[in-house]
Every structure is written in C-alpha cells, then in structure tokens.
Amino acid sequence: MKDSDRLHVRIAGRVQGVGFRWFVREEARRLQLAGWVRNLPSGEVELMAEGPRDALDALARAVGQGPPGARVEVVHQLPGHVQDDELPSPFAIER
C-alpha cells in the first residue's frame, strides 16, 4: 500500500473472550485498512494496520473504546515494522 502509514499496538485489559478481534476486524474493514489482529498468550491483543493516517486514527480511537463487554485498560504503541512486508487485505484475524 503506497502513501500509507502503519499502526502497531498491543491492547491490555479485558480484551479476550469478548469479541474484540471481530470488532477490530470489522472496524478496520469498514475503514478499508489492511492488516491483522491476534490474541497473545499474555491475554492481550495485538494489531497491525496500514492505510491513510485519518483511517488509522479512527481505528485507534475505536480500539481504545473496544466492543461492549470489553474493558480496555491501556493501548501500547509499538514500533512499526519494515514497510516492505505485505499486510493482508482485507484486514484479517490471525489465529
């Protein structure tokens, strides 16, 4: 995806078993972003998204709220990966 930015975050709180990955996938697809979301063994959720900055900002706001039943305690910004690696499109849930 040319002329795009990336968002890489790890979300902590009550974010597993509450439909968080599905929520992120649907929001990212609505915003037409590429990328993935996955559960981590630590109980956190990690996501990497790529697209226009305004769409990434909208996704970051949505992730900070989460779906009903979730409780987001903190969103950790992570360093972006090399821009040359291709992210899945449409946005996907990784297992």
Q: Enumerate the domain spans of the chain.
A: 5-78
Catalytic option among 10, 21, 53, 71? 21
Whether a cis peptide bond, with omega within 30° of 0, leads into 68 is no
Catalytic residue among 6, 25, 39, 61: 39
Task: Tell me, yes or no, if 21 is annotated catalytic.
Answer: yes
Beta bridge partners of 34: 50
Q: Which CATH class is domain 5-78?
A: alpha beta
Rounded to an integer, what distance in angstroms lies between the CA atom of residue 44 and that of residue 38? 9
Judge whether 6 counts as a catalytic residue: no
Instruction: Please list, in sequence order, all residues whose beta carbon lies within 8 angstroms of the beta carbon of residue 70, skipping any fewer than 6 positions away.
Output: 13, 14, 15, 18, 19, 20, 23
Please tell me whether residue 10 adopts helix, strand or coil conformation. strand
* pLDDT tens series, the chain, 95 aa: 457 899 999 999 999 999 999 999 999 999 999 999 999 999 999 999 999 999 999 999 999 999 999 999 999 999 876 566 789 999 999 98
The reply to whether the predicted model has a pTM over 0.85 is yes
Residues in the chain: 95
